[in-house]
Amino acid sequence: MLLGFAMSRDREGRFRPRVGPPRDRGKATRPRLIARVIRAASRSGKSLGYRAARARPGTRLGRGHAAAQLTGRALGPRSRRAIVKFRIVRHAGIHPSALRENLGYIEREVVQPDGRRAHLEAEDRERIDAESFARRIENDRHHFKIIVSPEDATQIGDLKAYTRELMAQVERDLGTRLEWVATDHWDTDNPHIHILLRGKDEAGEDLVIAGNYIAHGMRHRAAELATRWLGPRTEREIRESLTREVEQERWTSLDQALQRSAQDSRLDLAVLSDAVRDREHRALLIGRLQRLGELGLAERLAPDRWQLSPDFERLLRAMGERGDIIRRMQRALGDKRRELGAFGNTEAPESITGRLAAKGIIEPVYDREYLIVDGIDGRAYHIAAHSRVDLRELPVGAIVTVTNGPKPRPADRTIAEHARDGIYRTSEHLAVARDDVRPGHDPEAFVEAHVRRLEALRRACIVERLEEGVWRVPKDLVERGRAYDARRSGGIQVEVKSYFPIERQARAVGATWLDRLLVDQRDDLSATGFGAEVRAALAEREGFLVREGLAQRRRQRITLAPNLLATLTARELASAAEKIQTETGLVYHPVVDGEPVSGVLRRSVVLAGGRSAMLDDGVGFSLVPWRPVIEGRVGQVLTAVTRGDHISWTLSRQRGMSR
Cβ distance 333 to 322 under 8 Å?
A: no
Is 238's pLDDT higher than 50? yes
| Virtual torsion, Cα 41, 46, 51, 55, nearest 10 deg | 160
Is 658's pLDDT higher than 50? no
| Alpha-carbon span 352 to 495, nearest angstrom | 10
| Alpha-carbon span 196 to 163, nearest angstrom | 12
Architecture of the domain spanning 235-314: Orthogonal Bundle (1.10)
Domain 321-406 falls in which CATH fold? OB fold (Dihydrolipoamide Acetyltransferase, E2P) (2.40.50)
Greater model confidence, 490 or 169: 169
pLDDT at position 338, please? 87
Q: State how beta strands 620-625 and 656-658 pair.
A: unpaired
CA angle 86–88–94, rounded 5-degree value: 135
pLDDT at position 489, please? 66
Q: What is the pLDDT of residues 387-418, one digit of tens each?
A: 556 676 788 999 999 887 777 888 999 999 99
Residue type at position 310: P
Q: What is the pLDDT of residues 314-365, one digit of tens each?
A: 999 989 888 888 888 888 888 888 888 877 655 567 788 999 998 877 766 6
| Virtual torsion, Cα 169, 175, 178, 184, nearest 10 deg | -20
Residues whose CB is less than 8 angstroms from the CB of residue 439 and which lie 6 or more positions away in sequence, other chains included: none
Domain segments of the chain as ranges: 5-42, 64-230, 235-314, 321-406, 410-490, 573-658
Per CATH, 235-314 and 410-490 having the same topology is answered yes
Mean pLDDT, to the nearest integer, of 72-89? 86
pLDDT at position 7, please? 45
Of 64-68, 128-132, 552-556, 620-624, the poorest mean pLDDT is in 128-132
Residues whose CB is less than 8 angstroms from the CB of residue 412 and which lie 6 or more positions away in sequence, other chains included: 453, 477, 478, 481, 482
Q: How confident is the model at residue 31 (pLDDT cuts 50, 70, 90)?
A: low
pLDDT at position 647, please? 83
Strands (E), 230-333: 266-268, 298-302, 305-308
Of 45-49, 129-133, 278-282, 636-640, the poorest mean pLDDT is in 45-49
Q: How much is the pTM?
A: 0.70
Domain 410-490 falls in which CATH fold? Arc Repressor Mutant, subunit A (1.10.10)
Greater model confidence, 294 or 629: 294
Q: What is the pLDDT of residues 202-231, one digit of tens each?
A: 888 999 999 889 988 999 999 999 999 999
Cβ atoms within 10 Å of 604's Cβ, excluding its own:
17
pLDDT at position 102, please? 62
Q: What is the pLDDT of residues 463-499, one digit of tens each?
A: 999 999 999 999 999 989 988 887 776 667 888 899 9
Greater model confidence, 552 or 122: 552
Is 454's pLDDT higher than 70? yes
Q: State how beta strands 5-9 and 15-19 pair.
A: antiparallel
| Virtual torsion, Cα 562, 567, 568, 570, nearest 10 deg | 170
Of 14-23, 569-578, 594-603, the poorest mean pLDDT is in 14-23
| Alpha-carbon span 221 to 80, nearest angstrom | 11
pLDDT at position 441, please? 72
Cα dist. 154→81, 190, 226, 229, 560 in Å?
13, 8, 11, 12, 60
Give me the chain's average pLDDT, please. Answer: 81
| Alpha-carbon span 291 to 288, nearest angstrom | 5
Name the class of domain 64-230. Answer: alpha beta
Of 95-104, 282-291, 303-312, 636-645, the poorest mean pLDDT is in 95-104
pLDDT at position 403, please? 84
Cα dist. 309→254, 295, 296, 297, 335 in Å?
15, 11, 8, 5, 37
Q: What is the pLDDT of residues 511-564, one digit of tens each?
A: 999 999 999 888 789 989 999 999 999 999 999 999 999 999 887 788 899 989
pLDDT at position 48, please? 42
